[in-house]
Structure 1
């Protein structure tokens, strides 16, 4: 029996000579998502798309154009239904999509949504659609921060944009009525925004939501080895994108890798999520322990067999969203 046929008969990811099977411990929908993300030979489909060198900006621009369209379509496909008015404006150098639901669960508060995409992708329509979905889910106004991205705008442009929008939000609503949330690279920027706001003497938000956060650009954690290839969404490291974003700055600096920050009294209560197959699982685990050692209230939610960014429209994703909504509402009630 050939190895490729064996991989096809045992759906899963091929790692060396092993097949890591799709587990029966997750929902049928999640099982199907994992199977669909892997080719007949056991290779994750996303592993077929290599990132350009950090020294090839034109190749990054081409990849960004294609990826942004893909991201937007994916968010539209699994977006929630509901009446939302979306207005696009400028705050400083950042484009901001302000999504306001017709029925608000809380008045006079805001959720700042920082999109993912390895600091490069996820701009434009994808960011706008994400803001709309978040506004529906939380029942509050949402600012989708369409921050500037490399290769044209490397670090610290994105962080500057996020801080400028945060300053605007707390001036309008008060810091205790603001929650910041981000997925993947957006989680990095959410945490880095809180750190920089503290360094500059600004008030802290009511809560912080970090979904599979990309908070260690040095990629030093255990899961960068253990979950390499097993994570069908991020089968390969993101070092080319990290270097493109950092633009020569030290990857270990807390504004680039906020996992390495020194945390402080008054740090906002924090929601952290990951999955057992997430390439960034170590980021979540290490951050949670660091926050707890500092006496900070932090919840860690780890989902069975979930890859980076979730399964995409399964019962597990719905359960995660329910948890986030509960956290945000509790944070705003305090």
Structure 2
């Protein structure tokens, strides 16, 4: 069986890529007096993953420390998102229009064969991309518009570091308030992946603070609700799971997005907010997701507040794997998402 090798938690970081000869071949573990673990693990590929998912996990990814300039990251992400969006549309055909709502640029996705009974329902997508790029306005929206047979509005919110918090939040709230002029709040759902999942939870808290009506459902897909701590999974997994460069955890999350805002602000970190009365919410993450801890911590906070909160965890897959078109697990994941929104919004 193919093995994946990973050195985790406070291992010495080198600017050079680890070679096969240097990779660990057995488990090691040492725990400091304060509980800090210094470990290596040899981890087999889960046998029940699809062949496509196993191929994804076996993709080479250097662990060398090679920082990527933001302009290059954005260019690369835009190119990837455009290509992945075209592949997604081949599987899930939809109509796409780029326009503005409340002065905010958006992409609007509608079914090829719309259902009249769903015309008064809408989903709002808040895309991922680390708050500094767009890694999901196409791939996160196209499947749900097709499967749920409903309009999806993807908010192209302003990005950090040029526009730190609360710019993205303000844009999302502005679009929601405008849609309330046409749609009943119980007929609107808000969802997002990664940064968009974080933003989704932030929007819900802000709506409560503003005494605005809550949407009918939330989708928090690989997110977090506490930007003041990294969580175990961020110390163990890189963006692609067990491969790639990973630094030991250093403290709070995403300083470019927060700027001068405290990471314990109850809007940016909803675990510190009053979460009573949140809409029915679906949480999704995966076993090798760097935001596995963040997603499950926020899910438990929702449960403690007495909310209707479901959690699905996929085995062995990396962060936001559902953006990878062509995986059977991606199809399964979007099936769960669409059925959740169909049930909560009364879609036909």
Q: Structure 2 length normalisation: TM-score?
A: 0.80
Please name the residue that 2:130 is paired with.
118
- Asked whether 1:287 is paired with 2:287, we answer no
Output the aligned Cα RMSD. Answer: 3.0
Residue 309 of structure 1 deviates from its aligned partner by: 0.3
After superposition, what is the alpha-carbon deviation per residue over 1:119-165, rounded to whole angstroms, capped at 9, x for unaligned? 01117xx6256433431132100101111102221111110000001
SS at match of 1:127: coil
Match of 2:57 in 1: 34
- What are the equivalent positions in structure 2 for 1:17-32 lying under 5 Å apart? 17-32=40-55
Pick which of 66-75 and 181-190 moved more.
66-75
Q: Any stretches of 5+ residues in structure 2 without a counterpart?
A: 1-17, 27-37
Aligned to 1:150: 160
Whether 1:50 and 2:67 are equivalent positions in the alignment is yes
Aligned length: 313
Alignment partner of 1:169 is 2:179: yes
| From 244, 251, 259, the counterpart of 2:271 | 259
Matches within 5 A, 1:62-141: 62-105=72-115, 106-122=118-134, 127-128=137-138, 130-141=140-151
Quote the offset at 1:234 in angstroms.
7.8
Tell me whether 1:212 sits opposite 2:222 in the alignment: yes
Shift of residue 230 of structure 1? 7.5
- Answering whether residue 204 of structure 2 is matched by residue 188 of structure 1, we say no
Determine the structure 1 residue equivalent to 2:20: 4
- Matches of 2:220 and 2:161 in 1, distance apart? 25
Q: Corresponding residue for 2:339?
A: 326
Distance change (3 Å), C-alpha of 1:32 and 1:292? same
Aligned to 1:55: none
Higher helix proportion (structure 1 or 2): 1
CA distance in 1 between partners of 2:235 and 2:93 (Å): 44
Q: 2:261 is matched with which residue: 249, 257, 260?
A: 249
Report SS of the residue matched to 1:166.
Answer: helix
Q: Which structure 1 residue ranges, 5 or more long, are not aligned?
A: 52-58
Instruction: Identify which of 284, 299, 305 aligns with 2:310.
Output: 299
SS at match of 1:245: helix
Give SS of 1:306's match: strand
Cα displacement (A) at 1:82: 4.8
